[in-house]
Amino acid sequence: MSEFVPPGPDAKVFVISVAAELSGLHPQTLRTYDRMGLVTAARTGGGGRRYSLRDIETLRAVAKLTAEGIGLEGVKRVIALETQVAALQQRVRELEAELADARTPRNLPELYAEHQIAVWRRRRG
Q: Residue 102: beta bridge partners?
A: none
Q: Give the integer Cα–Cα distance in Å for 48 and 42.
A: 8
Q: Give the integer Cα–Cα distance in Å for 74 and 82.
A: 12
Q: Give residue 122's pLDDT.
A: 87
Q: Give residue 114's pLDDT.
A: 85
Residue 9: is its pLDDT beyond 80? yes
Query: Across the beta sheet with 42-43, what order do the strands follow?
Result: 14-15, 49-51, 42-43
Range of the domain at 115: 14-124
Mean pLDDT over all residues of the chain?
A: 91
Is 58 a member of any domain? yes
How far apart, in Å, do the first and last CA atoms of the chain sit?
Answer: 65
Per-position b or e across 72-91, b if 16+ CB within 10 A of its CB: eeebbeebeeeeeeeeeeee
Is 1 a member of any domain? no
pTM: 0.69
More confident residue, 107 or 72: 72
- Percentages (nearest 5) of helix, strand, coil residues in the chain: 65, 5, 30
Residue 101: is its pLDDT beyond 90? no
Is 2 a member of any domain? no
Give the model's confidence band at 7: pLDDT under 50 very low, under 70 low, under 90 confident, else very high.
confident
Say how many domains are in the chain: 1
Q: Give residue 2's pLDDT.
A: 75
CATH, residue 101:
1.10.1660.10
Distance, C-alpha 46 to centroid of its chain: 27
Is 118 a member of any domain? yes
Out of 9-13, 35-39, 76-80, 104-108, least confident range: 104-108
Helices (runs of H) and strands (runs of E) counted in the chain: 5, 3
Is 66 a member of any domain? yes
Is 91 a member of any domain? yes
